[in-house]
Amino acid sequence: MSLLRARCPACRTLTAVAIDDGYECHSCGRSFGAGLVRVPRAWGDGGEAMVEAASLALDYPEVAVVEEETLAMQTLAVASDLAARPLVLGGCCCSHVGAVEGLAARHGRVAVLWLDAHGDLNTPETSPSGNDWGMPLRMLLDRGTIAAADVVLWGARNLDRPEVEFIAAAGIGNDPDTLLDDARIEAVYVALDCDVFDPDEIAVFMPEPGGPSLAEVEQLLTRVRVSGKLVGVGFTGLAPDPANVQKVQRLAAALGY
């Protein structure tokens, strides 16, 4: 597989060819609005369900499957394997690190709308669990890939105390309009950990009660699409439930994918 030729989800052959921002299958003639990068890894203990969920049968051409031995290698591989309009399907939220770094190299300034029941803002020193999947947003900030002023953390409701303190000190907001209405921001990546939803809405690895509905998030994603700023999206934190496929497809469609 390559960025120019991907595996068609219908034909299962490498006949989906990159055209403009999407793909067209030279075998069956179907057109697609995005290229799929699968990242079936979970950087922490007990994340096998998330690994399996990265293989859910989404209806997009498969550009790459990234299965590296270290998180650093994964980040580099994801960054280099992004389609023009990438849809990343993790594993855990660490897959967003490579996606954002690749898009930042492409676009310069990238803002991030991080939809998650958790903060993902711990460090190895503050993390109660030591799992890397609780740190990816902090990784991006500490590396300088993105600025705190260009981050919105939306839907978070289970935060560790150090994360609460960091959010206040760094000035991380929770209003998507600050990104979507800012004329200086031209590129937005949506990092969607599906545990942001209420557990009754979708099957996830780490459910947290009190989240939004699919319809509410769909409305938010539609606003992102209408803004014209979307440069990529990643879905993570899922359970390997086949019923999730239609729901993820619905959310991707709201983004114009």
pLDDT at residue number 3: 78
Residue 190 main-chain phi, psi, to 5 deg: -105, 115
What domain range includes position 47?
A: 34-254
Instruction: Specify the pLDDT at position 96.
Output: 98
In this prediction, residues 201-215 reach a mean pLDDT of 97
User: Residue 192's domain is classified under what CATH number?
Assistant: 3.40.800.10
Q: Has residue 122 been placed in a domain?
A: yes
The least confident of 2-16, 107-121, 130-144, 232-246 is: 2-16
Average pLDDT, the chain: 96
Assess if residue 16 is contained within a domain.
no
**What tens digit of pLDDT does each residue of 158-197 get?**
999 999 999 999 999 999 999 999 999 999 999 999 999 9
How far apart, in whole angstroms, are the C-alpha atoms of residue 200 and residue 101?
A: 33
Q: 236 lies in a domain?
A: yes
Strands in the chain per DSSP E: 5-6, 16-19, 22-25, 31-32, 35-39, 62-65, 86-90, 111-115, 151-154, 188-193, 230-236
Domain assignment present for residue 8? The answer is no
The token pair at 100 is 């954002």
Q: What angle do CA 7, 11, 13 make, to 5 degrees?
A: 40
- pTM, rounded to two decimals: 0.96
Q: Express each pLDDT in 34-67 by its tens digit.
A: 999 999 999 999 999 999 999 999 999 999 999 9
Q: How many CB atoms lie within 10 A of CB 177?
A: 11
d(CA 254, CA 219): 8
Tell whether 13 is covered by a domain: no
Looking at the structure of the chain, the number of domains it has is: 1
State residue 1's pLDDT score. 52
pLDDT per position as a tens digit, 104-163 = 999 999 999 999 999 999 999 999 999 999 999 999 999 999 999 999 999 999 999 999
Q: What is the pLDDT of residue 4?
A: 85
- Residue at 201 is within a domain: yes
Domain membership flag for residue 6: no
Is residue 247 one of the residues assigned to a domain? yes
